[in-house]
Amino acid sequence: MVPDATTQTRQREIATEHLLFKLMEFVEARHAGLLDFMEQSLDHLGDPAIDNTKDNEAVRQIARAMIIGARKQGVR
């Protein structure tokens, strides 16, 4: 059975987030400072929506949470 577009989008988001977390953890373990660099860039991050769903701070909060998660998890 082929999943619908919403399911495929959710599955792709889960897979992408997992791989990104692992990449962040891996690089930070070998080159300390990556997560600090990423955190400092968040002021430039924004939501490209052009309707009433636009929420720059919500996008930044998601990114902050990902950085916090990568700091906590680390490479074991």
Each residue of 10-37: pLDDT tens digit? 999 999 999 998 999 999 999 899 999 9
Q: Long-range contacts of range 24-32, CB-CB < 8 Å, 24 or more positions apart?
A: 24/66, 24/67, 24/70, 25/70, 25/73, 25/74, 25/75, 26/75, 28/70, 28/71, 28/74, 28/75, 29/74, 29/75
Is pTM, for the whole model, over 0.75? yes
Confidence of residue 75 (pLDDT cuts 50, 70, 90): low
Q: What domain range includes position 68? A: 5-73
Confidence of residue 59 (pLDDT cuts 50, 70, 90): very high
Task: Please state the domain count of the chain.
Answer: 1
pLDDT of 44: 93
Q: Residue 76: is its pLDDT beyond 60?
A: no
